[in-house]
Structure 1
């Protein structure tokens, strides 16, 4: 009996250190996370759910005291950053924000008021 070939497990590789062009911008040097362990903000492969939730909460607590939280968040939304906690949001939370923005933008573009203004 022939066995079905197993699909290889895909584990995303996260590059924690970014090239300097990605770090350009005055907000980055003031980020609270510059002093913290990068592993706090990015998940190790096959992290158990309870550990992931605890790690994400710890990362968000660093973000909560960050003076450039909004700049960081907007950077992660514009790029878009596919992994990690950025600006106090996880990747899943950022996908929700982006989805809402797209729906809002589509609704604004379709509204009669938006057509009259343009």
Structure 2
């Protein structure tokens, strides 16, 4: 996973990506917003999000998306037909 070495979050406190506070609290929302700001400037954001979706990562902000957003993306992918 060499893409991780290029991630904007590599030197950021992981607490903002995996907050102890519930996402439904003010502290949880603040951490998620901060994490998404870091992700917004990341050159490997898409790869990070792909990895989280492929591995069904259940926690944290990955590729600028929260747990609930990734679940929505995952369920949307399963609902599509080619």
TM-score of Structure 1 vs Structure 2, range by shorter chain: over 0.9
In 2: Cα distance, 1:35 partner to 1:82 partner: 22
Structure 2 runs not aligned, ≥5 long: none
In 2: Cα distance, 1:42 partner to 1:52 partner: 9
Equivalent of 1:92 in 56, 63, 68: 68
Structure 1 runs not aligned, ≥5 long: 1-24, 109-118
Please give the TM-score of this superposition, normalised by the length of structure 2.
0.92
In 1: Cα distance, 2:22 partner to 2:57 partner: 20
Structure of higher CA gyration radius: 1
> Whose RCO is larger (CA < 8 A, sep 6+)?
2
Q: CA RMSD of the aligned region, Å? A: 1.4
Please give the TM-score of this superposition, normalised by the length of structure 1.
0.65
String of CA shifts for 1:34-84, please: whole Å, max 9, x gaps: 110010100205576111111100000000001100000000000011000
Aligned pairs (5 A) from 1:47-58: 49-58=25-34
In 2: Cα distance, 1:88 partner to 1:31 partner: 12
